[in-house]
Amino acid sequence: MFTVGAPLVDGAVPEGPVTERWERRRFSARLVNPANRRARSVIVVGTGLAGGSAAATLAELGYQVTSLCYQDSPRRAHSIAAQGGINAAKNYAGDGDSVWRLFYDTVKGGDFRSRESNVYRLAELSTRIIDHCVAQGVPFAREYGGLLDTRSFGGAQVSRTFYARGQTGQQLLLGAYQAMARQIDAGRITMLPRTEMLDLVVVEGKARGVVVRDLVSGEVSVLLADAVVLATGGYGNAFFLSTNAKGCNATALWRAHRRGALLANPCYTQIHPTCIPVSGEHQAKLTLMSESLRNDGRVWVPREAGDPREPGNIPEEERDYYLERAYPAFGNLVPRDIASRAAKNVCDAGRGVGPGGLGVYLDFADALRRLGKPAVEAKYGNLFEMYERITGEDPYQRPMRIFPAVHYTMGGLWVDYDLQSTIPGLFVIGEANFSDHGANRLGASALMQGLADGYFVLPTTLGDYLARGPFPEVERDHPDVVATASAVERRLTALLDVKGTRSVDSFHRELGHLLWDHCGMERTESGLRKALEHIPQLRAEFWRSVMVPGTAEGLNPSLEKAGRVADFLELAELMCLDALHREESCGGHFRAESQTGEGEALRDDDRFGYVAAWEFTGTGEPPVLHKETLAFDNVRPSQRNYK
Amino acid sequence: MRFTVRVWRQREENSRGALVDYAVEDVSPDMSLLEVLDQLNERLTSEGEEPVAFDHDCREGICGMCGMMINGVAHGPQRATTACQLHMRHFTDGQTITIEPWRSSAFPVLKDLVVDRSALDHIIEAGGYISAQAGAAPDAHAMPVPKRDADRAFAAAACIGCGACVAACPNGSAMLFTSAKATHLGLLPQGQPQRYTRAENMIAAHDDLGFGGCTNTGECTQVCPKGIPLETIARFNADVLSSALRDHRDED
């Protein structure tokens, strides 16, 4: 099903103690003279926390930036929906936090499948993110003394999460968006909204541009530059139902992968424990409730399977606060993978609540008694409102029902320490790369990574690349440019020409079910083999009988969706293959065949202590597996234990 | 539940549009209005017809991408609710639901319910930011901000830029949007240095882009899904007026 190729060496990581590596890299990075920067051009695809902050900062430095997003405005990137907060090792709470502790927690939280060097740098830069965002006017929550407030989050025992009510992602994104707006006005960013990247232009082995489609006019064109940055988020929408925005897609990643960029750990999907359960077949997407709710909410199910009573009629002694019982040290604040699987287990045992038994209670009755309604409302009011709006139930009166859902993908394009992919000149940042989170992501760490990459890391490492040149001008009629653009046109025509009878959504839904059942929270060898058999059949069926109405000219949402689902149908196969080959359980990825006597995930460091980076060889052809061995010199791998 | 959905269909910016009736059946009260459109679209697609184009993305009421007139009200009948969070349990079985795009000369219709709201971005580009270069900020605790100011700034910052305020305004004014941003930044100490040039530049862009003047009718706050208060407009007007009296030309 695959072959094993040459191992990957962790490129570009500086020597020396982990605490000094970023400083050394910064010093060794070549600089571009300010007067020469305006002659260098960069394309940044995506305008979320990573892409927006990168575009703004590169433009501030003086580079010519072209930024594009599929939405109607860069302010709508899905980072805007992040609720809970952003971590930083400020130790403002005085509770013993430090850069080292944030580094330690993050490596451990990632179940020893992330890179020490990258994670240390992330922890180190975290403090500067807060400083910068405050200077931009991000209205973080404050104490009465005027200083910044913090709270704690899953997987941490210190209070290091900065937040802006339940809308932290929105406020951080608007900060980056406004920084971009300033540069757009100054003429250093050319902003192309409603524009989708459909392929990567590689000339003489280097990334030199992208092929895009103007989603309003339908026009396909080529944008050329000295370097390309992908900041396009994750591929969780492969599952159809997820907490991702409907438009989030994997096309940019998958096209780059097809052009030679390795794709790492595609089977690492974070399943978030606190989402609103599915209400029916018609459902288009799922909504996440911030994990911060677990600070005060208590998770429970009835002790007896199939207990039909209303939650208020179930006495204390007949409830099972299963997280507090099984994990006394962390209680309701265990990491996401642990909380998700625990919820799945109680539901599998028939003790789930709500329609279909796929839900557990998140109960604020104690908090309301202890703190009073105004205090609970001040902290979580908007989340409670959102819950009520969607379910029609009032969480002040009745516990919320929650269930795990696909949320974030830790896999992504492989990058070196400089955030450069295996294609020179192609940089990948934020959720789109694989580098920092390992097999699991702790709460409030995704926003941190997006902004660290965009504001601080990329501007240094990309500058080093741009200083190296030369960058001879690429002619528009260069054979590689022409070939890439016409491949895009052919593909659009092919999608329109199928003229079958099935809607794009029906294929997407079917693929999503396959992935959730066989490549979700619990995987088995036989399930994965079944999925690997079905996916190519579904893909063939798609190209035989999909119906894409309309034409390639003008606004055509069906055509946009069809292209994205066609890519998901290829990516999904690689996700399952990656899951099949990783016979250990790690992070949220539980292989039923690999568990401890107590039913906890059992890692196998000797056999799988590596990053799996896949090379594309053709649709449906066996890919090549390249391994990057992970070294843990500073945090010794241990069985994670949150008891 | 079953409904008649009366939708504005328009092929492209320069073509004529018309309202078209579609019957939808088997609607669950837990569905959102956008999911009803999804269901209708799947049917239209299988019949080889072009589905209804509408803007949407996060479907959590935060990205601001969805927006439509529902029975004549921007985002529909539920107060403080975006179209994506409007659930069918709030409608009556058998009802006719009329869905139209935002109407404003500053927001051209691109297709069906999709309009071009880029004018809102241009208002922000004119000055809706604090000029802070990445990498040089002082420690975040160096400048305390009274909690009251931070909370009020936050309330204004919650604007999602959906454009409902413009769609509801009899003058087609974007003052609630513009003043929300200016208020957010103007209430914080970090926003003071550019406060008056910001007000002046943003209002100039607002007027140039074809938005109408504000006459304080307050329709905007009635439909705002984030409850941005009318007080932000008063605050912004105060800054615009006093900027005329200040010698601040060398601020920028």
Residue B126 lies in a domain: yes
Instruction: Give domain A491-608's CATH architecture.
Output: Up-down Bundle (1.20)
- Candidate from B57, B129, B144 with C-beta closest to A76: B57
- Alpha carbon separation from A165 to A380, B79, B242 (Å, rounded): 7, 21, 32
Share of chain A above pLDDT 70, in %: 100
Res. A260: pLDDT tops 80 = yes
Spans of all domains in chain A: 272-406, 491-608
**pLDDT value of residue A594:** 97
**pLDDT value of residue A335:** 86
Give the containing element (helix H, strand E) for A484.
helix A479-497
**CB pair distance less than 8 Å for A74 and B62:** no
To the nearest whole angstrom, how far is the Cα of B49 from the nearest Cα of chain A?
Answer: 6
CB B228 within 8 A of CB B180: yes
Q: What is the rounded distance in angstroms from the CA atom of residue B167 to the CA atom of residue A629? A: 56
**pLDDT value of residue A421:** 98
**pLDDT value of residue A599:** 85
**pLDDT value of residue B188:** 98
Res. A238: pLDDT tops 60 = yes
Residue A397: helix, strand or coil by DSSP?
A: coil
Same domain? B100 vs B193? no
Q: Does B111 touch chain A (CB under 8 A)?
A: yes
Same domain? B247 vs B122? yes
Q: Does B9 touch chain A (CB under 8 A)?
A: no
A509 is catalytic: no
Chain A residue with the nearest C-alpha to that of B79: A389
Q: Does B109 touch chain A (CB under 8 A)?
A: no
Residue B224 lies in a domain: yes
Q: What is the rounded distance in angstroms from the CA atom of residue B79 to the CA atom of residue B227? A: 9
Condensed to tens digits (0 to 9), the pLDDT of residues A488-497 reads 999 999 999 9
- Candidate from B53, B118, B150 with C-beta closest to A139: B150
To the nearest whole angstrom, how far is the Cα of B134 from the nearest Cα of chain A?
Answer: 6
Res. A235: pLDDT tops 60 = yes
**pLDDT value of residue A198:** 98
Q: Which of A6-10, A91-95, A109-113, A235-239 has the lowest mean pLDDT?
A: A6-10
Q: What is the rounded distance in angstroms from the CA atom of residue A489 to the CA atom of residue A458? A: 32
**pLDDT value of residue A642:** 78
**pLDDT value of residue A11:** 84
Residue B146 lies in a domain: yes
Same domain? B125 vs B237? yes
Instruction: Give domain A272-406's CATH architecture.
Output: Alpha-Beta Complex (3.90)
- Candidate from A76, A170, A184 with C-beta closest to B65: A76
Contacts of A90 in chain B (CB under 8 A): 140
Q: Strand (E) positions, A276-325?
A: 298-302, 319-320
- The token pair that represents A454 in the structure block: 């965009």
Helix ranges (H only) for A311-355 are 322-326, 336-348
**pLDDT value of residue A153:** 79
Low-confidence ranges of chain B (pLDDT < 70): 247-252
Condensed to tens digits (0 to 9), the pLDDT of residues A532-556 reads 999 999 999 999 999 999 999 999 9
Contacts of B39 in chain A (CB under 8 A): 282
**CB pair distance less than 8 Å for B120 and A73:** yes
Residue A393: helix, strand or coil by DSSP?
A: coil
Share of chain A above pLDDT 90, in %: 91
Condensed to tens digits (0 to 9), the pLDDT of residues A337-383 reads 899 999 999 999 999 999 889 999 999 999 999 999 999 998 888 88
Q: Does B28 touch chain A (CB under 8 A)?
A: yes
Query: Which residue in the list A37, A213, A336, A523 is annotated as catalytic?
Result: A336
**CB pair distance less than 8 Å for A455 and B134:** yes
Q: Number of structural domains, chain B?
A: 2
Q: A641 or A33: which carries more pLDDT confidence?
A: A33
Condensed to tens digits (0 to 9), the pLDDT of residues A476-489 reads 999 999 999 999 99
Residue B136 lies in a domain: no
A301: which strand partners? A320
Condensed to tens digits (0 to 9), the pLDDT of residues A174-229 reads 999 999 999 999 999 999 999 999 999 999 999 999 999 999 999 999 999 999 99
Chain A residue with the nearest C-alpha to that of B113: A555
Q: Does B34 touch chain A (CB under 8 A)?
A: yes
State the CATH number of the domain containing residue B39: 3.10.20.30
**pLDDT value of residue A166:** 84
- The token pair that represents A253 in the structure block: 């990643």
Res. A146: pLDDT tops 60 = yes
Contacts of B118 in chain A (CB under 8 A): 72-73, 193
- The token pair that represents A175 in the structure block: 């900060």
Q: What is the rounded distance in angstroms from the CA atom of residue A511 to the CA atom of residue A536? A: 11
Average pLDDT, chain A: 96
Tell me the mean pLDDT in the region A163-172: 94
Q: Which residue, among A128, A139, A150, A124, has the nearest Cα to A172 in the 3D structure? A: A139
Res. A443: pLDDT tops 80 = yes
Helix A168-185 to helix A116-136 angle (10° resolution) is 70
CB A197 within 8 A of CB A484: no
Q: What is the rounded distance in angstroms from the CA atom of residue B119 to the CA atom of residue B202? A: 12
Same domain? B88 vs B41? yes
B77 contacts: CB under 8 Å, gap ≥ 6: B70, B71, B86, B90
CB A613 within 8 A of CB A626: yes
**pLDDT value of residue B247:** 65
**CB pair distance less than 8 Å for A81 and B49:** no
**pLDDT value of residue A37:** 97
Contacts of B126 in chain A (CB under 8 A): 185
Q: Does B153 touch chain A (CB under 8 A)?
A: yes
Q: What is the rounded distance in angstroms from the CA atom of residue A81 to the CA atom of residue A93? A: 26
- The token pair that represents A384 in the structure block: 């409670």
Interface probe with B: pick from A58, A126, A142, A394, most Cβ of B within 10 Å: A142
To the nearest whole angstrom, how far is the Cα of B31 from the nearest Cα of chain A?
Answer: 7
- Candidate from B53, B78, B126 with C-beta closest to A555: B53
Q: Does B213 touch chain A (CB under 8 A)?
A: no
- The parent domain of residue B24 ranges over 3-111
State the CATH number of the domain containing residue B163: 1.10.1060.10
Same domain? B228 vs B245? yes
Chain A residue with the nearest C-alpha to that of B49: A549
Same domain? B10 vs B87? yes
Q: What is the DSSP letter of A457?
A: I
Tell me the mean pLDDT in the region A398-418: 97
Q: Does B158 touch chain A (CB under 8 A)?
A: yes
